[in-house]
Amino acid sequence: MPYGSYSRIANSIIQLSTLHLEKQLTASKHAMKTRIYIETTIPSFYYTLRKDVESQAMMNWTRRWWSELAPEFTLVTSTAVIAELRRGTGETVEQRLSLLENAELLKVTRYIDDIANIYIEKRLMPNDANGDALHLAIASVYRVDVLLTWNCKHLANPSKMEHIRAVNYGLGLPMPILTTPLNYLSGE
């Protein structure tokens, strides 16, 4: 067989292999959805009973995010969120819990508790063992892509991002994106 024939055959094989690889990568991208950690404030505002303008706006944005965008992601939450929601009172407790029934449940481990304590020691988060430091530790240790929250004082706070990133880097942990439903809706 002349050399040119081998070359054409090789090029055909390369083209077919490349096409097959591109199809696999495209399928893989669609199969791997972004994982979003649903922090306690999300179901809380979804079913808020507060009537002030700000709370009503947050409720509407949360509900819109949930109906329009949540299906695009893999939702995860934690045993800490479930425990926080169960401590609530009133008619919305069961509704808030039911909102998370299809989310993957992440467990709190001793290692996660240790990371949360480091966040508190480094003054990243307030000294509340079951609070913001724990949610950040869970999302970081489980390598969740996004932590969705309405807590803009301690979590989705741009002025804290570099400090969080530096501490997580020192711990060998990735930093999840810390954001609100409104930020997602604004990017449509």
Mean per-residue pLDDT for 108-115?
96
- Please state the φ and ψ torsions of residue 146, each to the nearest 5 degrees: -135, 140
- Report the pLDDT value the prediction gives residue 3, as an integer from 0 to 100: 52
Identify whether the C-beta of residue 135 lies closer than 8 Å to the C-beta of residue 149: yes
First to last CA, the chain: 57
Spell out the domain ranges in the chain: 1-32, 33-186
Identify whether the C-beta of residue 108 lies closer than 8 Å to the C-beta of residue 135: no
Angle, CA of 143, 146 and 148, to the nearest 5°: 130
What digits encode the pLDDT tens for the residues 35-49?
Answer: 999 999 999 999 998
Identify whether the C-beta of residue 140 lies closer than 8 Å to the C-beta of residue 174: yes
- Report the pLDDT value the prediction gives residue 7, as an integer from 0 to 100: 56
- Report the pLDDT value the prediction gives residue 28, as an integer from 0 to 100: 47
CA dihedral 144, 131, 94, 38 (to 10 degrees): -20
Compute the distance between CA of residue 65 and CA of residue 89 in angstroms, rounded to an integer: 25
Compute the distance between CA of residue 73 and CA of residue 33 in angstroms, rounded to an integer: 5
DSSP 5: H
Q: Is the pLDDT of residue 106 over 90?
A: yes
Choose among 169, 170, 173, 162: nearest CA to 137: 173
Q: Is the pLDDT of residue 4 over 70?
A: no
- For residue 93, give the H/E element and its range: helix 93-99
Mean per-residue pLDDT for 40-65?
95
Choose among 129, 122, 136: nearest CA to 178: 136
Residues in the chain: 188
pTM of the model: 0.81
Give the model's confidence band at 156: pLDDT under 50 very low, under 70 low, under 90 confident, else very high: confident
Compute the distance between CA of residue 140 and CA of residue 171 in angstroms, rounded to an integer: 10
Compute the distance between CA of residue 172 and CA of residue 128 in angstroms, rounded to an integer: 23
CATH 3.40.50.1010 fits 33-186, yes or no: yes
Partners of 37 in the beta sheet?
76, 147
What digits encode the pLDDT tens for the residues 68-94?
Answer: 999 999 999 999 999 999 998 888 999
Give the model's confidence band at 2: pLDDT under 50 very low, under 70 low, under 90 confident, else very high: low
